[in-house]
Amino acid sequence: MARKLLPIGIQTFREIRERDCYYVDKTGFAVRLAEEGKHYFLSRPRRFGKSLFLDMLKELFAGSRDLFTGLQAHDPWDWSARHPVVRLDFSGGDFMVPGYLETSLMAQLGKAERRFGVEAIHDSGPERFAYLVETLHQQAGQRVAVLVDEYDKPILDALEEPGIARANRNYLRGLYSMVKFCDAHIRFCFLAGVSKFSKVSLFSGLNNLDDITLDPSYSSICGYTEDDLDTVFGPELEGLERERVRDWYNGYSWGGAERVYNPFDALLLFRKRKYKAWWFETGTPTFLVRTLAERRVHAATLEGALASEKLLGTFDVGRIATEALLFQTGYLTVAGVETEDGREFYRLGYPNREVRESLNESLLDYLTGYAWRPEEHRGPLRRILREGDFAGLEERIRALFAAIPHDWYRRNNIDRFEGHYASVMYAYFASLGQDVRAEDSGSRGRADLALRAGGRVYVFEFKVVERAGTGGAMAQLRERGYADKHRHLGVPVHLVGVEFSKRTRNVERFETELA
């Protein structure tokens, strides 16, 4: 198989096809959507190929047959019907500026009107949009395809200014309500974005949308599957350790049987030949990390959360469920689907090593108040855990908390709670790539952390001495038999009781014992 051009940063379907770039064929999904329904909604994290999919839909409905030679859509599609396409794209611009959203919409509508030779007769954006769709249907004799990319970005960009965010949301609500108003003139409608705003808040006027976000049959509509890597990118895999590629970048799921890679990660890996947090580094999750800290959401409890489909779709200005925020932005994904009383629930987890390490590194930056440098800790910590060097482990933990600026504690009144120390320790181990489990369940309770490393198991319990008294951490580890569940592994199991003082904000007592 010959090597082709890697389409890094190319979101135009025509350019990818005409330049003979690698292309993972998603056109079969487009045909199925067009045959089965009419109005669709899809939520996927940033840089997952949504824009390319919409651009492919544009070319499909416009009848660009030559671009689909050899692809799944070529034979079943009716190329005799060419539909006018109205595509709105809110991926660019400064939506923090009051009124900019309307300016952007008017500019996009004006461009479409000039292209199709339509003269605007309305001053407001929603009415102008509706008139354009109706006129195009009349002119072409074919109903219109409406595509909206980054439908939610004007709201997301302004979340830290709730007044502007609500104004943008209300304006978009009026615009999207026109899609239903124009239903007789529309052949196909597809809205895509990062978040899933509740229908009441944004789509109250468009209640006939088919949300395919968690539809198992469309779980791989964006992203690359294992089979895609083998069949499409085979030449690029040479020299790469497949299991390492999978560990770093595979693992995203929206309820289907297949897990997928983020395309941006895969393409950058093929180009650079280095394992790095390519996707994570393109967007600093400042708002997310601050939100988690303000809500006192412990880093140790993020993985394994259980959520309903309704909860994952509870997203609005000033009302964002933590699980929904993490899931929709791509920092957590569906690890499994569970059924209870006939209802489906989604068990969430980190998709892969990239996200797990990088998000916890960002959380550690925030929790400790200083820039975390994992490269200084990774090697020494591996040695400490491999050798069972408890003096070295205690020294590392003391140094970690000693480095936290005292000003940080004056702004955050959480040093008196065990959860704070457990969160810092979990983020510390996770950011360094260790196999750490939070709230490790046993028959008589849950240990704060369980760590498997270097042929050993470490079971941690954290206490604050002013609240629990001296010796409570190790006593709880013994009395509740937290080591029992790990004995079958046939490796040394160590109990580690760490007690902190809210006065010194550091380790007061450090005890270890071989279980």
pLDDT, tens digit, for every residue of 251-264? 999 988 899 999 99
- Of 165, 161, 145, give the one whose Cα is nearest residue 153: 165
Mean pLDDT of all residues in 400-416? 63
- Is 416's pLDDT higher than 70? no
- Confidence at residue 363, expressed as pLDDT on a 0 to 100 scale: 84
- Is 394's pLDDT higher than 90? yes
- Confidence at residue 200, expressed as pLDDT on a 0 to 100 scale: 58
**At which residue do the structure tokens 């469309």 appear?**
218
pLDDT in tens, 455-466: 999 999 999 998
Other C-beta atoms closer than 10 Å to the C-beta of 452 total 17
Classify residue 481 as exposed, middle or buried by CB count within 10 Å of its CB (0-12, 13-18, 19+).
middle
- Confidence at residue 12, expressed as pLDDT on a 0 to 100 scale: 97
Instruction: Give residue 370's pLDDT band: very low, low, confident or very high (50, 70, 90).
Output: low
CB 240 within 8 A of CB 250: no
- Is 345's pLDDT higher than 90? yes
Q: Which residue has better confidence, 141 or 320?
A: 141
H helix count then E strand count, the chain: 21, 15
Instruction: Give residue 160's pLDDT band: very low, low, confident or very high (50, 70, 90).
Output: confident
Instruction: Give residue 413's pLDDT band: very low, low, confident or very high (50, 70, 90).
Output: low
Lowest-pLDDT choice from 15-19, 370-374, 385-389: 370-374
Instruction: Give residue 424's pLDDT band: very low, low, confident or very high (50, 70, 90).
Output: confident
- Confidence at residue 203, expressed as pLDDT on a 0 to 100 scale: 77
- Confidence at residue 409, expressed as pLDDT on a 0 to 100 scale: 52
Torsion angle in degrees (nearest 10) through CA of 133, 11, 157, 420: 140
| Chain centroid offset of residue 127 CA | 35
Helix (H, G, I), strand (E, B) or coil at 424: helix
Residue 329 contacts by C-beta under 8 Å, 6 or more apart in sequence?
A: 45, 46, 194, 195, 285, 288
CB 390 within 8 A of CB 512: yes
Task: Provide the 8-state DSSP code for 350.
Answer: -
- Give percent of the chain with pLDDT exceeding 90: 72
- Is 441's pLDDT higher than 90? no
- Is 320's pLDDT higher than 90? no
For residue 308, the cross-strand partners are 345
Mean pLDDT of all residues in 197-226? 85
Question: Angle, nearest 10°, between helix axes 353-368 and 418-431?
Answer: 140
For residue 195, the cross-strand partners are none
Mean pLDDT of all residues in 359-380? 80
- Of 212, 217, 209, 219, give the one whose Cα is nearest residue 38: 209
Mean pLDDT of all residues in 310-317? 82
Question: Angle, nearest 10°, between helix axes 390-402 and 378-387?
Answer: 140
Mean pLDDT of all residues in 22-41? 97
Lowest-pLDDT choice from 253-262, 338-347, 406-415, 463-472: 406-415
pLDDT in tens, 446-488: 899 999 999 999 999 999 998 878 899 999 999 999 999 999 9
State which of 276-285, 325-334, 418-427 shows the largest mean pLDDT: 325-334
Measured distance CA(421)–CA(439) in Å, rounded: 13
Mean pLDDT of all residues in 351-363? 92
- Give percent of the chain with pLDDT exceeding 70: 95
- Confidence at residue 284, expressed as pLDDT on a 0 to 100 scale: 66
pLDDT in tens, 86-139: 999 999 999 999 999 999 999 999 999 999 999 999 999 999 999 999 999 999
Residue 12 contacts by C-beta under 8 Å, 6 or more apart in sequence?
A: 52, 55
Mean pLDDT of all residues in 187-194? 96
State which of 65-69, 299-303, 369-373, 435-439 shows the largest mean pLDDT: 65-69
Lowest-pLDDT choice from 95-109, 345-359, 438-452: 438-452
Per-position b or e across 369-402, b if 16+ CB within 10 A of its CB: eeebebeebeeebeebbeebbeeebbeebeebbe
- Confidence at residue 375, expressed as pLDDT on a 0 to 100 scale: 77
- Is 321's pLDDT higher than 70? yes
Q: What pTM value is reported for the model?
A: 0.90
**At which residue do the structure tokens 């109250």 appear?**
204
CB 327 within 8 A of CB 45: no
Measured distance CA(453)–CA(492) in Å, rounded: 11
Strands (E), 29-134: 39-43, 85-89
Residue 2 contacts by C-beta under 8 Å, 6 or more apart in sequence?
A: 235
DSSP per-residue string spanning 130-187: HHHHHHHHHHHSSPEEEEEESTTHHHHTTTTSHHHHHHHHHHHHHHHHHHHHTGGGEE
Other C-beta atoms closer than 10 Å to the C-beta of 236 total 20
Helix (H, G, I), strand (E, B) or coil at 399: helix
Tokens of 183: 């239903």
Instruction: Give residue 442's pLDDT band: very low, low, confident or very high (50, 70, 90).
Output: confident
CB 255 within 8 A of CB 213: no
- Is 412's pLDDT higher than 90? no
Task: Provide the 8-state DSSP code for 375.
Answer: G
- Is 296's pLDDT higher than 80? no
CB 372 within 8 A of CB 384: no
DSSP per-residue string spanning 221-236: SSSB-HHHHHHTSGGG
Mean pLDDT of all residues in 24-41? 97
- The dihedral built from the CA positions of residue 211, 356, 294 and 168, taken in this order, carries a sign that is negative
**Position 488, amino acid:** H
**Position 66, amino acid:** D
Mean pLDDT of the chain: 91
Measured distance CA(398)–CA(258) in Å, rounded: 43
